[in-house]
Structure 1
């Protein structure tokens, strides 16, 4: 027995409305994801700018240490040699210069630590958006007791 072609299922107003709701939900979700990505990029960029300032301070501090070590060490040692001898003069000069350079590096590192590269606002918004999408998905005709045409 050969069977004829099966008839196409009829689309009722409810199923057509449901399909439109699903299409709209997918479009809204895509737009929401894009806006979250844009926000995350903006937050990461702002955090990188703050960290960049701290990194620049560390680099400047290290460069200044390299330039100043030779001149300061020589001058300090020459000034201390008559009072405490050459060995102790070199040790005192090295400790004083290291303390100054270390202070600059620590200040720069503290600025880097205060900066945040994590997109905190975008992360917080993802949770809120998920709740909003779940609420919107529950507003289907079956959940509200009607269909999309208001019948």
Structure 2
């Protein structure tokens, strides 16, 4: 059994070494296994979390535990604007089942000048998204989580 006083002291030392910013808000896009685990852990650590998924059942399942939850298709940049995702300090794309959607959402998050009207993205914009994602550093979600978790 852990000593509560020792645990409290350890938490205080950790908090002193890793100061938190005053605005800890994150949007988690995709509430599958990775996204829901990440969202739950961030909520446990005191973050405000907006969980977004296209599956209404997943959103309903997590709506009681997350700060905000929405059913939406984030491949449309207008949806991101309406949800206010760009106002959050961080965003995580946890879409693992559709690589094209994952790249497109990532591109929408990185490019605030992305067109916000018109039909679904054309092949040209999808190609632009693929080229944009190829130029950034990428890693697997588990590697990113493992590297980032000590600083939270």
Q: Which has the higher strand share?
A: 2
- Same fold (TM > 0.5): no
Taking structure 2 as the reference length, what is the TM-score of the superposition? Answer: 0.24
Which of the pair has the greater relative contact order for Cα pairs under 8 Å at 6+ separation? 1
